[in-house]
Amino acid sequence: MSDFYEQPETIISSLEPLRFHGTEVILFHILDPDEIRPNLREPAILIDLETGDEMEVTPEYAKVEYTQKIDSHIENLRTKAQAAGLDYFLLNTSRPLDDALREYLMIRQGRM
């Protein structure tokens, strides 16, 4: 369970060896709705809570470029995880955890 703010290749190469030792690996990608689709009305300074780095972001950037980048990151991570034999599931924090996990289990049951 992570926000997986890292290059998908790095994430997969770190986790993939676990699969070869008989461990089932599931990537639960946890993101807040504002991380997926930020709704900025004016420029804002965003601060990375892990590094302290700051970045000024405009509403236009958030709406167009960021949206393309986060969508690409999510799809790239999903694709690389599946190609490596790892399960991937996006957990949107706007949903109750039990609902999201129930959905994951239903999807998984349908594959078996």
Asked if pLDDT for residue 22 goes beyond 70, the answer is: yes
- What's the pLDDT at 14? 94
Model confidence pLDDT, tens digit, residues 28-85: 999 999 999 999 999 999 898 889 999 999 999 999 999 999 999 999 999 999 999 9
Asked if pLDDT for residue 112 goes beyond 80, the answer is: no
State the Cα–Cα distance between residues 81 and 7, nearest whole angstrom. 12
DSSP state of 92: E
Per-position DSSP letters for 66-94, written without gaps between them? IHHHHHHHHHHHHHHHHHTT-EEEEEETT
State the Cα–Cα distance between residues 16 and 36, nearest whole angstrom. 26
Asked if pLDDT for residue 96 goes beyond 90, the answer is: yes
Furthest-apart CA atoms within the chain: distance in Å? 49
